[in-house]
Structure 1
Amino acid sequence: MFKKLFGEHGAKNVVTLFHKPSSQPSTRVFTILKQAHATAVSHSTEDQASSHTAQEKAERHEFELDVTEEAPTSDQLKNILEYLGGPTAGAAGKIIKGARDESDALRRLNDDGESFVRPVVVDWNQGKAVAGENESEILNLLRSIPKETKKA
């Protein structure tokens, strides 16, 4: 499983949405990701003999979409904070209510998983994350997924 998640040749990137269905921003992000995933999957299954010139411009690289309503683990939270720019970027306060820094964020997460602010989109393979519902940032993250290379 670790090989598949962390860049095995031919494996898809895993993009996780930390989701809260009762949150409108989270629901909007979920819709964006579902649409992007459907687009990526449909492009990968097109008949190889057909013309792809128009599709290539809009192509999204394939990824596995993982949606969870759970808060991240402590290790995941450390990675997410790093992906958001590290301790000097103020990332802790963006994704953990009231957190001042990484250690405060970890303490608050362990005390109350509800302090984790959703939505957060994470591309574990590339080490990138987007906190909130900024559609252009999310789409940029998805566009930066490396094109899948298939074994010959």
Structure 2
Amino acid sequence: MFRKLFTEHGAKDVITLFHKPNNAASTRTLTLLKQWSANSESTATEDQASQHETQSKTDPQFELDVTEAPPTVDQLKNILEYVGSQNAGSIISGARDTTSALQILKEDSGRFQRPIIVNWHQGKVVVGDDQSQILSLVKALSKDA
């Protein structure tokens, strides 16, 4: 779906944060991802040029997509595929499987849990603000380069 985003500097993986501004966990997650993204985009000086290639491998670059909207039907299907249909309740409150999750989202998008971070390229999802899981998801980008 969001395999790669092409920029003037090359391709970056897309990480989407489904965000809710008045949710403290979501705000912490947004801050963490913004910091990580900013650090990964800092450029090397001429003195650091020889080290820049190494830095780019340890600090994966990604495009951070932040949305307050619930996922589209296709996005939700992908997310549920990534986490497994049996874990639908962690994504949509009260869902038992993909079918019920899609129905609930259609009827009441407020039951979509936030924060949810999705690495579309690798098919990985983190629900909540567990910092170690989020950083693990981001660090996995460099392993795929």
* TM-score (norm. length: structure 2): 0.86
Task: Give the count of matched residue pairs.
Answer: 140
Distance 2:142 2:16 in 1: 16
Unaligned 5+ segments in structure 2 are none
Aligned to 2:13: 13
Matches within 5 A, 1:10-89: 10-42=10-42, 45-50=43-48, 52=51, 56=55, 59-84=58-83, 86-87=84-85
Aligned to 1:124: 120
Distance 1:57 1:139 in 2: 16
Q: Is the counterpart of residue 92 in structure 1 residue 88 in structure 2?
A: yes
Amino acid paired to 1:62: Q
Amino acid paired to 1:78: K
For residue 83 of structure 1, report the CA deviation from its aligned partner: 1.4
Contact 1:11/1:148 (8 A) holds in 2: no
- Larger strand share, 1 or 2: 2
Q: Deviations over 1:63-99 (max 9, x none)?
A: 0000000000111011111112x12xx3210011111
Contact 1:61/1:148 (8 A) holds in 2: no
Distance 1:71 1:27 in 2: 16
Greater shift in the superposed pair: 105-114 or 57-66 = 57-66
Q: Deviations over 1:30-89 (max 9, x none)?
A: 0110110011011xx112542639x849932100000000000111011111112x12xx
Greater shift in the superposed pair: 117-126 or 55-64 = 55-64
Contact 2:40/2:56 (8 A) holds in 1: no
Distance 1:147 1:48 in 2: 26
RMSD: 2.5
- Larger helix share, 1 or 2: 2
Q: Secondary structure at the match of 1:144?
A: helix
Q: Secondary structure at the match of 1:6?
A: coil
